[in-house]
Amino acid sequence: MRCRHEDFVPGAIFHLYNHAIDDYQLFYDDIDYNFMINIIEENVEKIPSSIIAFCLMPDHYHFLIRQDSEVELYKLFNYSFIKYAKYFNEKYSRKGPIFRSPLQHILVTDKTYMIQLCKYIHLNPVRKDLVDQPENWIYSNYKNWLFQNTDKLTINNVFKELSISPSWYKAYLNSPFNFICRKYFQNG
């Protein structure tokens, strides 16, 4: 589901995601992941926004992010992923699109759903058997959450923003997904 242009206003929060085209991966090695992270960091400075949760997976990505200016948030990702696609195609000697579809975005207005979405994003590498614990996946901001660190890819005071505590969230990650989360995320 894609949002309407009018939804992109300061303070709006979005779940942004996409998958690789066909059987490709988006990230084959640490260099690919780090290149993408650097691009996002550069563009977050140009287009003010606050990343609440994110995870880069081998064949897809998820960002939960707040738009902090009048500039539409999707532009940050358009700029970032156009640059990444050029890098990817040159590195892997290919041509054409690398994404299955245009950038997907869902407007998030419910705090309970937002917390469930954070859980879904942070547990994605565990669910896909890439790591045993979410803090072991270095291409997400869960470790920053856990240790309450802030950088360009982690909002300041995330627990205050969500009205939860670090210990509550860590326990929540170990609880089963509820119906609301399963309804939205059956495919990955």
Tokens of 178: 């509820």
End-to-end CA distance of the chain: 15
- Axis-axis angle for helices 74-91, 30-46 (nearest 10): 150
pLDDT tens per residue across all 188 residues of the chain: 566 767 888 989 999 999 999 888 999 999 999 999 999 988 888 888 888 999 999 999 999 999 988 888 888 888 899 999 999 999 999 999 999 988 888 899 988 899 999 999 999 999 999 999 999 999 999 888 877 666 666 666 677 778 888 888 888 888 876 544 444 444 44
Domain boundaries, the chain: 5-184
Class of domain 5-184: alpha beta
